[in-house]
């Protein structure tokens, strides 16, 4: 018997969370071994580890509690990685030395696998005087370009590129350039962007009043607030960015407003954090807790939920002590406040199981009810931890209970905190759960609606044949098992047919009992009127949301799901693309055709010879393996490593052109070289250029710096309009905006985790 509800769940575990040796040999033989590894690691800080190990294991069992990916992949492995998903870095000083000190800290953090958030509002605007050097400042966006380049060159732990969030205040003089930065598709690709919107600005927008752009007490420019608001709205309407963060509301509601000021969030926005703050995430899987699903009286087992929340809070509190941190300042911040972010996933599935339509008033009320119960259980569990282990070091009862969030908390919880203190300053957050939701059996993600009831993956086998694999939403699968082919009830809705304001209603209902914030994407139809689109953001502000992120498919963002015209109901399956994901590398044929290239690098006594062999699949030629050779023994180790890694990537299939991009982005701090009239930043970049020229010559790439000429692994059918970008991991055209982050629904790849 397998614990996995779907083949894709086991594949996600094997690819992302299973503990393996360096050569790929599994150490975790089963998913139970993974749960045991995590439970044992987090129980090790307890006085009675064996007692808590069993309780922690029971919480993890059958995917009831889902620690964030960093914990699931890293706990108990002994590897030098952080168990925290992401960080907000220190305040950027307005000086060249300070700026590059912050860049170094960012690189060290991303090297250990943490995503980062930064507020660039502290850097003086473009054109401002730089005293003492008779020059003008280049502005914050020029330094964001430097951060972007750094992020592209660092491979974070777990083979995941780091994600970054950049924020800027709505009154910064360079805010208009910040808003339109993503109109250049090649710029700031590693960043999510969000504008810090103040209450004063929103009032000026509603009053159609003036708005001053200032820095350091100087007014640089005055414009109409509504014009600036429309510029923000137009950019996100066209490019899905920037997002909007209601920063004053965040600071007013913060339990720690008496000892910190927040001006940035982690990459997906669910954790507003102070300088050097870290987000520690985990989710209660509501889809696993419904008693008598699809029957009369179906409901979540409240007692089981309370017990699971209490165990999860203890596990997460232990992570603070068990985790490594890239920087000492991050460790000190985490220890001083012991902030955690316990959230949920599978909400939409759970609502379906109790017979409620996502987005209805009844569903919003049920969402608020469940989230309040979780908040109460989490706060009371943290009080019990404080009685046992002590409150967080910066706890001040009077100031803490006077904060915005605590004023609405039930009186019995407030009384318990006043008497015993509390272990964790903040406890709840709704994080992106795209990958762990697939791992848990394709439950609906976070508090998002079901995206599609089912879709088909096509898997390329070793012999070149294709097999089809249906990926079904967890609740839909339960319905099928219970009722066979009976038609789905009317209350089954998905993200494609849901009205945008229904999304807002659900986000606002959840936000009432989430002390941090929520990562959520509001899906908008491509043909939504611009004024109606703006109303989504105004409604989010008026109903108490702390931020707003939308996604409108168009020619720029890509159309990610094909819906047949004239269909009265949402499609049960995504029939958009006939694509292939190579589950295992192909066997090497006896003979391959290839080419050998000679590469001479300055200051190197011997040339490097690069051989690229190709394979033909379905009549298309594509790179299959690489051999890099040199007589220079100083090159031996890295050329062997590069040979093995690039060949392994090529044999997996899909869009492997990213190898070229990554190699060409590597720079050598000792300097590059001029070749054929171009500056090549490193010998690795030169190798990337050779590979690119080879891919162009065989027709795999269209041209230098361009994408695939024709993807030999994908044949697209029934796709209307632009199909968007292929997944950089598996090559499928299944990238969807989920919780503010583009996520592949086929292999689970996400730059946000």
For residue 658, give Cα distances in angstroms to 91, 158, 688. Answer: 33, 17, 10
The two tokens of residue 338 are 């012991």
Instruction: Over range 50-57, report the average pLDDT.
Output: 97
Please report the pLDDT score of residue 730 as a whole number: 54
Please report the pLDDT score of residue 100 as a whole number: 92
What residues form DSSP beta bridges with 345? 285
Res. 687: pLDDT tops 80:
yes
Please report the pLDDT score of residue 573 as a whole number: 40
DSSP 97: H
Please report the pLDDT score of residue 748 as a whole number: 64
For β-strands 741-744 and 341-345, DSSP reports them as unpaired
Any domain includes 704? yes
Give the separation between CA 711 and CA 726, rounded to whole angstroms: 10
Identify the domain boundary among 222, 245, 265: 265
Instruction: Over range 592-601, report the average pLDDT.
Output: 88
Residue scoring higher pLDDT (30 or 603): 30
Give the separation between CA 648 and CA 630, rounded to whole angstroms: 20
Please report the pLDDT score of residue 23 as a whole number: 80
Give the separation between CA 321 and CA 335, rounded to whole angstroms: 8
The 10 Å Cβ neighbour count of residue 328 is 9
Any domain includes 649? yes
User: Which of 297-301, 518-522, 601-605, 721-725 shows the lowest per-residue confidence on average (mean pLDDT)?
Assistant: 721-725
Tell me if 425 sits within 8 A of 338, measured CB to CB. yes
Instruction: Over range 441-456, report the average pLDDT.
Output: 90
Tell me if 232 sits within 8 A of 547, measured CB to CB. no
Any domain includes 611? yes
Res. 713: pLDDT tops 60:
no
What residues form DSSP beta bridges with 551? 523
Q: Give how far the C-alpha of residue 277 lies from the chain's centroid of Cα atoms, to the nearest Å.
A: 17
**pLDDT bucket at 694, cuts 50 / 70 / 90:** very high
Res. 108: pLDDT tops 80:
yes
Instruction: Over range 276-299, report the average pLDDT.
Output: 96
pTM, 2 dp = 0.80
Nearest to 11 by CA among 325, 441, 354, 306: 441
For residue 538, give Cα distances in angstroms to 129, 195, 242. Answer: 37, 15, 15
Nearest 5°: the CA angle 274, 276, 280 is 85
Res. 577: pLDDT tops 70:
no
Give the separation between CA 567 and CA 600, rounded to whole angstroms: 61
Active-site residue flag, 270: yes
Please report the pLDDT score of residue 459 as a whole number: 60
Res. 532: pLDDT tops 60:
yes
Give the separation between CA 247 and CA 45, rounded to whole angstroms: 36
Catalytic residue, from 270, 448, 625, 734: name it: 270
Residue scoring higher pLDDT (278 or 730): 278
Nearest to 306 by CA among 379, 255, 222: 379
> What are the pLDDT digits (tens) for 631-657?
877 778 888 888 888 888 888 777 788
User: Which of 26-30, 38-42, 171-175, 741-745 shows the lowest per-residue confidence on average (mean pLDDT)?
Assistant: 741-745
Give the separation between CA 429 and CA 520, rounded to whole angstroms: 11
Nearest to 300 by CA among 372, 381, 360: 372
206: CB partners within 8 A, 6+ apart: none
Instruction: Over range 607-613, report the average pLDDT.
Output: 91
Any domain includes 136? yes
Instruction: Over range 426-449, report the average pLDDT.
Output: 93
**pLDDT bucket at 359, cuts 50 / 70 / 90:** very high
Any domain includes 501? no
Residue scoring higher pLDDT (676 or 649): 649
Please report the pLDDT score of residue 463 as a whole number: 52
Residue identified by tokens 């750094």 is 150
Give the separation between CA 147 and CA 477, rounded to whole angstroms: 44
Residue numbers of the domain that contains 644: 593-712
Instruction: Over range 691-706, report the average pLDDT.
Output: 83
Any domain includes 691? yes
Any domain includes 202? yes
Please report the pLDDT score of residue 563 as a whole number: 34
DSSP string, 561-629: ----TT-SS--SEE---EE-EESSPPPPPS--EEEEEEE--TT-SS-EEEEEEEEEETTEEEEEEEEEE
Residue identified by tokens 């009722």 is 483
Residue scoring higher pLDDT (638 or 30): 30
Give the separation between CA 208 and CA 731, rounded to whole angstroms: 47
CB burial of residue 352 (10 Å; 0-12, 13-18, 19+): buried
Give the separation between CA 111 and CA 80, rounded to whole angstroms: 10
Count of CA atoms in the C-beta half-sphere (13 A) of 644: 6
The two tokens of residue 125 are 């605007």
Tell me if 123 sits within 8 A of 99, measured CB to CB. yes
Nearest to 423 by CA among 317, 539, 522, 528: 317
Tell me if 505 sits within 8 A of 540, measured CB to CB. no
Res. 157: pLDDT tops 90:
no
Average pLDDT, the chain: 86
Res. 714: pLDDT tops 80:
no
Please report the pLDDT score of residue 726 as a whole number: 60
What residues form DSSP beta bridges with 262? none
Q: Which residues of 240-275 are buried (b: 16+ CB within 10 A; e: fewer)?
A: bbbbbbbbebbbebbbbbebbebbbbbbbbbbbbbb
For residue 413, give Cα distances in angstroms to 31, 64, 376, 578, 748. Answer: 37, 25, 7, 54, 39
DSSP string, 492-525: ---TTTS-HHHHHHHHHHHHTT-SS-B---EE--
Res. 568: pLDDT tops 60:
no
Please report the pLDDT score of residue 585 as a whole number: 61
Please report the pLDDT score of residue 708 as a whole number: 57
Instruction: Over range 120-147, report the average pLDDT.
Output: 88
Tell me if 238 sits within 8 A of 554, measured CB to CB. yes
**pLDDT bucket at 752, cuts 50 / 70 / 90:** low
Most confident of 334-348, 438-452, 657-671, 713-727: 334-348
Any domain includes 233? yes
Instruction: Over range 252-281, report the average pLDDT.
Output: 95
Nearest to 706 by CA among 743, 678, 664: 664
Active-site residue flag, 568: no
User: Which of 406-420, 434-448, 452-466, 622-636 shows the lowest per-residue confidence on average (mean pLDDT)?
Assistant: 452-466
**pLDDT bucket at 224, cuts 50 / 70 / 90:** very high
User: Which of 120-134, 505-519, 646-660, 737-751 shows the lowest per-residue confidence on average (mean pLDDT)?
Assistant: 737-751
**pLDDT bucket at 480, cuts 50 / 70 / 90:** very high
Please report the pLDDT score of residue 591 as a whole number: 82
User: What phi and psi, each to the nearest 5 degrees, are found at residue 341?
Assistant: -135, 80
Residue scoring higher pLDDT (668 or 415): 415
Instruction: Over range 546-569, report the average pLDDT.
Output: 63
Please report the pLDDT score of residue 289 as a whole number: 97
Catalytic residue, from 86, 151, 268, 548: name it: 268
What region, left, alpha or beta, does residue 62 occupy, with left being phi > 0 and alpha being psi -120 to 50 degrees?
Answer: left
Instruction: Over range 124-143, report the average pLDDT.
Output: 85
User: What phi and psi, each to the nearest 5 degrees, are found at residue 648?
Assistant: -60, -40
Instruction: Over range 131-144, report the average pLDDT.
Output: 83
For β-strands 578-579 and 341-345, DSSP reports them as unpaired
Using DSSP, state whether 217 is helix, strand or coil: coil
**pLDDT bucket at 709, cuts 50 / 70 / 90:** low
Give the separation between CA 164 and CA 139, rounded to whole angstroms: 19
Please report the pLDDT score of residue 364 as a whole number: 98
Identify the domain boundary among 678, 696, 712: 712
Counting the structural domains of the chain, the total is: 2
How far apart, in Å, do the first and last CA atoms of the chain sit? 29
Catalytic residue, from 85, 255, 266, 285: name it: 266
Identify the domain boundary among 238, 265, 292: 265
């Amino acid at each position: 018997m397998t614990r996995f509800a779907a083949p894709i769940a086991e594949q996600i575990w094997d690819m992302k969370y299973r503990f393996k040796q360096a050569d790929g040999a599994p150490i975790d033989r089963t998913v139970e071994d993974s749960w045991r590894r995590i439970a044992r690691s987090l129980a090790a800080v307890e006085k009675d580890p064996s007692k808590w190990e069993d309780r922690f294991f029971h919480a993890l069992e059958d995917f009831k509690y889902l620690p964030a990916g960093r914990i699931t992949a890293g706990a108990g492995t002994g590897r030098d990685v952080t168990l925290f998903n992401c960080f907000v870095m220190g305040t950027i000083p307005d000086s060249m030395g300070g700026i590059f000190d912050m860049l170094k800290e960012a690189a060290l953090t991303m090297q250990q696998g943490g995503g980062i958030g930064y507020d660039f509002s502290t850097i003086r605007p473009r054109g401002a005087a730089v005293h003492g050097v008779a020059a003008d400042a280049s502005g914050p966006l020029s330094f964001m370009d430097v951060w972007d380049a750094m992020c592209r060159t660092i491979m974070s732990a777990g083979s995941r590129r780091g994600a970054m969030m950049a924020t800027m205040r709505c009154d910064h003089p360079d805010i208009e350039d910040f808003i339109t930065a993503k109109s250049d598709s090649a710029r700031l690709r590693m960043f999510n962007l969000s504008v810090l919107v103040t209450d004063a600005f929103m009032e000026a927008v509603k009053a159609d009043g003036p708005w001053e752009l200032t820095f350091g007490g100087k007014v640089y420019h005055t414009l109409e607030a509504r014009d600036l608001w429309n510029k923000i709205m137009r950019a996100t309407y066209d490019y899905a960015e920037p997002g909007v963060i209601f920063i004053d509301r965040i600071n007013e509601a913060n339990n720690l407003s008496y000892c910190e000021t927040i001006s940035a969030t982690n990459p997906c926005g669910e954790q507003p954090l102070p300088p050097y703050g870290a987000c520690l995430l985990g989710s209660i899987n509501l889809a696993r807790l419904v008693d008598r699903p699809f029957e009369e009286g179906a409901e979540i087992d409240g007692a089981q939920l309370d017990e699971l929340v209490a165990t999860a809070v203890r596990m997460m509190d232990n992570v603070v002590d068990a985790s490594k941190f890239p920087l000492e300042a991050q460790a000190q911040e985490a220890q001083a406040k012991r902030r955690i972010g316990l959230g949920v996933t599978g909400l939409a599935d759970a609502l379906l199981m109790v017979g409620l339509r996502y987005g209805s008033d009844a569903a919003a009320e049920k969402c608020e009810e469940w989230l309040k119960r979780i908040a109460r259980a989490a706060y009371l569990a943290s009080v019990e931890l404080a009685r046992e282990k002590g409150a967080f070091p910066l706890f001040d009862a009077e100031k803490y209970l006077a904060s915005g969030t605590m004023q609405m908390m039930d009186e019995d919880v407030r009384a318990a905190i006043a008497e015993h203190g509390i272990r964790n300053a903040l406890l709840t957050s709704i994080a992106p759960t795209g990958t762990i939701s697939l791992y848990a059996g394709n439950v609906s993600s976070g508090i998002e609606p079901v995206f599609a009831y089912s879709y088909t993956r096509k898997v390329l086998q070793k012999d070149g044949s294709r097999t089809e694999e249906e990926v079904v939403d967890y609740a839909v699968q339960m319905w099928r098992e219970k009722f066979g082919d009976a038609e789905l009830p009317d209350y089954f809705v998905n993200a494609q047919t849901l009205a945008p304001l229904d999304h807002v209603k659900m986000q606002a209902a959840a936000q009432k009992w989430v002390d941090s914030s929520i990562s959520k994407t509001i899906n908008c139809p491509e043909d939504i009127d611009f004024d109606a689109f703006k109303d989504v953001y105004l409604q989010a502000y008026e109903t108490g949301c702390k931020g707003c992120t939308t996604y409108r498919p168009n020619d720029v963002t890509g159309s990610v799901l094909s819906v047949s015209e004239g269909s009265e109901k949402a499609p049960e399956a995504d029939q958009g693309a006939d694509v292939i994901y190579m589950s295992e590398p192909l066997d090497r044929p006896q003979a391959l055709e290839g080419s050998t290239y000679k590469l001479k690098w300055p200051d190197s006594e011997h040339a490097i010879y690069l051989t690229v062999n190709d394979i033909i699949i379905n009549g298309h030629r594509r790179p299959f393996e690489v051999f890099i050779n040199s007589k220079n023994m100083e090159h031996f180790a890295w050329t062997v490593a590069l040979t093995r890694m690039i060949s392994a990537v090529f044999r997996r299939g899909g869009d492997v052109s990213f190898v070229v991009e990554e190699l060409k982005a590597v720079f050598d701090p000792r300097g590059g070289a001029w070749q054929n009239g171009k500056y090549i930043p490193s010998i690795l970049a030169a190798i990337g250029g050779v590979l690119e020229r080879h891919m162009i010559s065989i027709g795999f790439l269209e041209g230098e710096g361009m994408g695939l000429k024709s993807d030999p692994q994908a044949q697209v059918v029934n796709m209307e309009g632009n199909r968007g970008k292929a997944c950089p991991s598996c090559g499928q055209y299944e990238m969807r905006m989920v919780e503010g982050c583009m996520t592949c629904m086929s292999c689970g790849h996400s730059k946000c985790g």
